[in-house]
């Protein structure tokens, strides 16, 4: 069975970059009829907050990306201790005592000599007495995984064949000096224990994947199929990381972006397939193909989400929005007609309020100087509400006969006089909804 996971840290809100990872893993699981696990990487007790965990789940539910179960790393610390003991027994985990300053000096020296700035494994040559002395002087050290200096290779689901020379990578720190387990070890244990078969994540994890493959094998686990999607940039190719604070999913929701508009966009962005607006998640699942994605950085423009949202709303039936429409105060007997008139003239659901305010309270007339006399005549011919389905045709016919105007010169000034706008719904459909007209 296919088993995937999305593993956010509950240290902040989800943003569009996180969503790409979550969505790909969710789609793979659902397309295969497999299992999707939400794993909260909450081993950092200071930064991990329950409010962020709740927000992550709320955002995923808003999008319809439901999970089959939730796992929390904070409840699995005993398992990580056992894995660390196993690696120590196999000679694959060793304690190091260098200070950050010492490590920085070593890196600079290596760079000056034209060598890769990797950890020199000096701690391996320490005697038991030297370790005891350093521990007494500096406290506990960090624990590094001893990499086999060989090429690490895998067939990436997006990048194709990948090969990393482990000798060009520092032995990764798995346990901090304060005893906190870092992502690399905890994630490996979880992927082994939960039977993860497929892992999709950002291209910035490629080197990390190489080291994790060795750790998985050292612990006797099965290596999942890995795929690394491209990183998002801004519309001009600029780093998106500086703007992610304004691209959280809850911010997009607050701006009125529709879930299916966002998912439709992200499920194709960066692939060889054109972006296609879907009405249901089943349509997204059916059209998803991981192999269609490329390695090049992918430009993301938040403004692309609003036309998709507008198109989605324009074809949404009244039954799906009835509650929201009536919550504005639209009378039940007019609510469906109001939606059918307004839906093709809104970008987000937030825009509905302005249209209902226009219908309920009337709009301040907009009259061009050359049309003042014409509009004055027209308004004298306009009866008071309520209006019916033929009111617009009857009124414009009467104005045409009285003034001789026709075509755009007739209809546009009248539209602007009633709505204050030079665009909008068909006036024959809008006029029966007007409860008040400002004269």
387 has which bridge partners? none
Q: What is the pTM of this model?
A: 0.92
pLDDT tens-place string over residues 384-418? 999 999 999 999 999 999 999 999 999 999 999 99
**CATH number 3.90.800.10 given to 80-175:** yes
User: What's residue 145's pLDDT?
Assistant: 98
CA distance 277 to 265: 7
What percent of the chain has a predicted confidence (pLDDT) above 70?
99
pLDDT of residue 288: 97
Quote the pLDDT of residue 180.
95
SS (H, E, C) the chain: CCEEEECCCCCCCCEHHHHHHHHHHHHHHHHCCCEEEEEECCCCCCCCCHHHHHHHHHHHHHHCCCCCEEEEHHHCHHHHHHHHHHHHHCCCEEEECCCHHHHHHHHHHHHHCCCCCCCCCHHHHCCHHHHHHHHHHHCCCEEEECCCCCEEEEEECCCEEEEEEHHHCCCCEEECCCCCECHHHHHHHHHHHCCCCEEEEEHHHHHHHHHHHHHHHHCCCCCCEEEEECCEECCCCCECHHHHHHCEHHHHHHCCCCHHHHHHHHCCCCECCCCCCCCCHHHHHHHCCHHHECCCCEECCHHHHHHHHHHHHHCCCHHHCHHHHHHCCCCHHHHHHHHHHHHHHCCCHHHHHHHHHHHHHCCCCCCCHHHHHHHHHHHHCCCCCCCCCCHHHHHHHHHHHHHCCCCHHHHHHHHHHHHCCCCCCCHHHHHHHCCCCCC
* Confidence band, pLDDT 50/70/90 cuts, at residue 242: low
pLDDT band at residue 239, thresholds of 50, 70 and 90?
Answer: confident
In this prediction, residues 32-61 reach a mean pLDDT of: 96
- Say what the pLDDT of residue 238 is: 87
CA distance 13 to 59: 9
- Distance of alpha carbon 255 from alpha carbon 349, whole angstroms: 9
For residue 241, what pLDDT band results from cuts at 50, 70 and 90? Answer: low
Strand partners, 164: 152
Q: Report the candidate in 173, 124, 167, 174 with the shortest Cα–Cα distance to residue 148.
A: 167
Give the β-pairing of 142-145 and 69-72: unpaired
Dump pLDDT digits (tens) for 187-197. 999 999 999 99
What pLDDT score was predicted for residue 245? 60
pLDDT of residue 246: 66
**Domain map (residue ranges) of the chain:** 80-175, 362-439
Cβ neighbours of residue 91 closer than 8 Å, sequence gap 6 or more: 146
Q: What is the model's pLDDT at position 369?
A: 96
The string of pLDDT tens digits covering residues 95-110 is 999 999 999 999 999 9
Strands laid side by side in the 3-6 sheet: 3-6, 35-40, 69-72
Assess contact for 207 and 170: CB atoms under 8 A.
Answer: no
Residue 151: the pLDDT is 97
Checking if the pLDDT of 243 tops 80, the result is: no
pLDDT in tens, 29-38: 999 999 999 9
- For the residues 325-335, what does the mean pLDDT come to? 96
The confidence score (pLDDT) of residue 439 equals 86
Confidence (pLDDT) at 240: 78
Backbone φ and ψ of 438, nearest 5°? -85, 130
The pLDDT of 163-169, averaged and rounded, is 96
Residue 58 has pLDDT above 60, yes or no: yes
d(CA 143, CA 88) in angstroms, rounded, equals 10
End-to-end, the C-alpha distance of the chain in Å comes to 69
Q: Please state, in angstroms and as integers, the Cα–Cα distance from residue 245 to each residue in 15, 130, 258, following that order.
A: 8, 46, 19
Centre a 10 Å sphere on the Cβ of residue 431 and count the other Cβ atoms it contains. Answer: 25
Assess whether pLDDT exceeds 70 at residue 244.
Answer: no
Task: Please write the tens of the pLDDT for every residue from 247-281.
Answer: 899 999 999 999 999 999 999 999 999 999 999 99
């Amino acid at each position: 069975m296919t088993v995937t996971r999305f593993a956010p840290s509950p240290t902040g809100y989800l943003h569009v970059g996180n969503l790409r990872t979550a969505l790909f893993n969710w789609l793979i699981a659902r397309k295969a009829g497999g299992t999707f696990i939400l794993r909260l990487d909450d081993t950092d007790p200071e930064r991990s907050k329950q409010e962020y965990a709740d927000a992550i789940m709320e955002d995923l539910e808003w999008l319809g990306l439901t999970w089959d179960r939730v796992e929390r790393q904070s409840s699995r610390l005993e398992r990580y201790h056992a894995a660390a003991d196993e690696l120590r027994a196999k000679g694959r985990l060793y304690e190091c005592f260098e200070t950050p300053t010492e490590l920085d000096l070593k890196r600079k020296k290596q760079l000056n000599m034209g060598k890769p700035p990797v950890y020199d494994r000096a701690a391996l040559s320490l005697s038991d007495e030297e370790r005891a002395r350093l521990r007494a002087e500096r406290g506990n050290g960090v624990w590094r995984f001893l990499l086999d200096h060989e090429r690490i290779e895998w067939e990436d689901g997006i990048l194709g064949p990948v090969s990393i020379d482990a000798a060009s990578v520092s032995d990764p720190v798995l346990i901090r000096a304060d005893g906190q387990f870092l992502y690399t070890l905890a994630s490996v244990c979880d992927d082994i224990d939960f039977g993860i078969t497929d892992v999709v994540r950002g291209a910035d994890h490629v080197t990390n994947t190489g080291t994790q493959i060795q750790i998985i094998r050292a612990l006797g686990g099965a290596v999942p199929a890995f795929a690394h999607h491209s990183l998002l940039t801004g519309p001009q190719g600029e780093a998106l990381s500086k703007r992610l604070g304004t691209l959280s999913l809850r911010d997009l929701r607050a701006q009125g972006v529709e879930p299916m508009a966002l998912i439709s966009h992200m499920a194709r962005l960066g692939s060889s397939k054109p972006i296609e607006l879907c009405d249901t998640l089943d349509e997204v699942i059916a059209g998803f193909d991981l192999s269609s994605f490329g390695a090049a950085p992918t430009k993301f423009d938040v403004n692309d989400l609003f036309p998709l949202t507008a198109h989605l709303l324009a074809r949404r039936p009244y039954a799906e929005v009835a509650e929201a429409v009536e919550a504005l105060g639209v009378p039940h007997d007019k609510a469906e007609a109001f939606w059918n008139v307004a839906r093709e003239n809104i970008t987000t659901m937030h825009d509905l309020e302005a249209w209902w305010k226009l219908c309920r309270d009337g709009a301040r007339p907009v009259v061009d100087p050359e049309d003042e006399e014409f509009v004055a005549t027209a308004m004298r011919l306009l009866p008071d509400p309520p209006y019916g389905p033929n009111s617009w045709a009857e009124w414009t016919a009467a104005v045409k006969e009285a003034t001789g105007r026709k075509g755009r010169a007739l209809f546009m000034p009248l539209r602007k006089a009633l709505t204050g706008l030079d665009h909008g719904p068909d006036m024959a459909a809008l006029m029966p909804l007007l409860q008040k007209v400002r004269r």
